[in-house]
């Protein structure tokens, strides 16, 4: 048995949760924060049988969207004059951990 922990953007939670439930997987949602942009994040936890791991991971892969771009914030250079760096940063998608679980109980 495996525990899948997926940290995703809040904007993807509804779609991912629905897709997991439609696929027959129970999901527990835990609000979390962090990451580079400090944007809203949610951690989804699901336990799956070993033979269903690939299906659950595929659902996560296709239902999270990682192509959101943000311009970086103004920076202060050595002349103490603010300027904006025009780089783009990819955010979103999912960070997924798969852990071995000896037992799982639902009471």
* The total number of structural domains that make up the chain: 1
Q: What is the pTM of this model?
A: 0.73
Tell me if 106 is assigned to some domain: no
The per-residue pLDDT for 32 is 78
CATH number at residue 63: 3.30.70.120
Distance CA 3, CA 25 (A): 11
The per-residue pLDDT for 2 is 97
Tell me if 17 is assigned to some domain: yes
Token pair 């311009």 is found at 71
Tell me if 6 is assigned to some domain: yes
Tell me if 37 is assigned to some domain: yes
Tell me if 8 is assigned to some domain: yes
The residues with which 2 forms a beta bridge, in sequence order, are 48, 100
Cα torsion for 46, 36, 40, 87, to the nearest 10°?
A: -120
One digit per residue, the tens of pLDDT, for the chain of length 107 reads 999 999 998 888 999 999 999 999 999 999 876 655 556 789 999 999 999 999 999 999 999 876 555 555 555 656 665 565 556 655 667 899 999 999 988 88
The per-residue pLDDT for 20 is 96
Tell me if 105 is assigned to some domain: no
Instruction: Look up the domain containing 36 and give its range.
Output: 2-100
């Amino acid at each position: 048995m495996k525990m899948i922990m997926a940290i995703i953007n809040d904007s993807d939670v509804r779609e991912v949760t629905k897709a997991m439930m439609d696929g027959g997987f129970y999901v527990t949602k835990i609000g979390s924060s962090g990451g580079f942009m400090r944007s809203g994040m949610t951690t989804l936890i699901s336990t799956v049988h070993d033979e269903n791991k690939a299906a659950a991971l595929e659902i996560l892969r296709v239902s999270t969207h990682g192509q959101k771009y943000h311009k970086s914030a103004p920076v202060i250079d050595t002349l103490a004059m603010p300027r904006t760096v025009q780089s783009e940063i990819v955010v979103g998608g999912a960070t997924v951990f798969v852990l071995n679980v000896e037992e799982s109980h639902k009471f």
